[in-house]
Amino acid sequence: MMKIFFILTLIIIAQIANAQGCVAIRSNGSTCTMTGAHNDTEKESTWTFGINTRYFKSYKHFVGTEEQHERVEAGTEVINHNFSTELGFTRRINSRWLIGFYVPVISNVRSSMYEHYGNTSKSPNARRETRSFGVGDVRVAAYYWLVDPAKMSKVNVQIGAGIKLPTGDYRYTDYFHRNDSIKILGPVDQSIQLGDGGTGLTTEYNAYYRLNKTWSLYTNGYYLFNPREQNGVSTARGGTPAATAISYGSDVMSVPDQFMFRLGANISASNFLFSAGMRIEGLPAKDLIGGSNGFRRPGYVIAVEPVVAYKIKKTQLYLSVPYAVERNRTQSVPDKIRTQKTGVYAQGDAAFADYSINFGAVFSLK
């Protein structure tokens, strides 16, 4: 029972680190903590395979923490349907060291008016879709337990570091319709690009405190450092960037950092484990390393997160549904440049989801 509880506790905190909406931590190799039966005390190396699928629909626009209700009322809201499936492979080198390899496969559909005919168009065809599909940015990471988990200690902390590679297509294109007869091929919006174009450094931590055989506390976190400032991809959707966009630095896409932190409690019951906690995730306005100009929609989501997991033999199944309680589209660097140059405070908007759905399975392989 102790072994099952410990495995499930790790699975619960191995959720994919994705936010909701246009400030999303996209599924581009940003898995927070690895998956697998990490407490296996056998001497031979153990392979673990995990698959996580995530879906959300973002459509509620925010400027800061204020929702722009008029967008939905007028029918001009941007709607993103984001699907991602991440395949994770981990290998236990010994009882304290693991390595992991993560490959996301992404499918996105974005519906809008402003990118096509325009929000003021009265045409019934004004709302159009752009799409993207393919492999995202893969990630390789190594993990180390500060205390040997074979000892089943009451408290343990795991740290991890890795590299995110720019394998996802960050120049993905589709057609933008200007009217019923004219369409232009151009890069899709940043929120549905398959990658960000940067080689990033990842840091992670994963900690638990076991109160007794039934209750435990957990916390984990992930931060992606993206030193590259911009990836050179135009934001003009196949057209010519506006002079103001060039002046403010929003004519090309930035390569932003990403973050996610979680905290909560678990309760075990037979082969089930239930979890409740909070999570915050998003994109900072300024990167910790490198420049921060270029187009991005910075912000964060704070969500309550119920999770249920079930273990059967060497397979663990889980379902997580983070529900947003606060959404904040913060001021970007181009927003600040615009404010300084015009003397008028500027802050863009972003569309968020109410919730996301994460479900998956982890298989222990010899």
Mind giving me the DSSP string for 204-266?
EEEEEEE-SSSEEEEEEEEEEE----EEEEESSTTSPPPHHHHHHT-SEEE---EEEEEEEEE
pLDDT digits (tens, 9 = 90+) for 96-113: 999 999 999 999 999 999
| Residue 99 maps to a domain | yes
Whole-structure pTM value: 0.89
**305 is a domain residue:** yes
**Within a domain: 175:** no
Classify residue 180: in a domain, yes or no: no
Whole-angstrom distance, CA of residue 248 vs CA of residue 69: 27
pLDDT in tens, 303-342: 999 999 999 988 999 999 999 999 999 999 999 999 999 9
User: At residue 65, does pLDDT exceed 50?
Assistant: yes
Q: What does the alpha-carbon distance between residue 241 and residue 173 come to, in Å, rounded to a whole number?
A: 16
Question: pLDDT of 7-32, one tens digit each?
Answer: 444 434 443 334 444 444 454 333 33
Residues ≥6 apart with Cβ < 8 Å to 364: 36, 37, 40, 46, 47, 48, 314, 315
| CATH code of residue 253 | 2.40.160.40
pLDDT reported for residue 63 = 97
Nearest CA to 297 among 172, 164, 168, 191?
191
Q: Is 23 helix (H, G, I), strand (E, B) or coil?
A: helix
**pLDDT one-digit tens code per residue, 257-308:** 999 999 999 999 989 999 999 999 999 999 999 999 999 999 999 999 999 9
Backbone angles phi, psi at 104, to 5 degrees: -95, 140
Nearest-angstrom CA–CA distance, 178 and 140? 42
- 3-class secondary-structure state, position 12: helix
Per the prediction, the chain carries an average pLDDT of: 89
In the predicted model, is pLDDT for residue 1 greater than 50? no
pLDDT band at 45 (very low <50, low <70, confident <90, very high): low
CA separation for the pair 324, 248 (Å, rounded): 31
In a domain, 352, yes or no: yes
Residue 28: predicted pLDDT: 37
The whole-angstrom separation of Cα 26 and Cα 18 is: 6
Residue 271 lies in a domain: yes
Q: How far is CA 349 from CA 89, 193, 344, in A?
A: 37, 18, 16
Strand partners of residue 72: none
Work out whether strand 79-92 and strand 66-67 pair parallel, antiparallel, or are unpaired.
Answer: unpaired
List pLDDT tens digits, range 160-201. 999 999 999 999 999 999 999 999 999 999 999 999 999 999
Domain that holds residue 28: 2-110+129-168+191-231+239-365
Percentage of the chain surpassing pLDDT 90?
83
Residue 122 domain flag:
no
> Would 120 be classed as within a structural domain?
no
Q: How far apart are CA 34 and CA 365, in angstroms?
A: 15
The count of domains in the chain is 1
Kind plus residue range of the DSSP H or E element containing 51: strand 46-63
- pLDDT for the residue numbered 79: 98
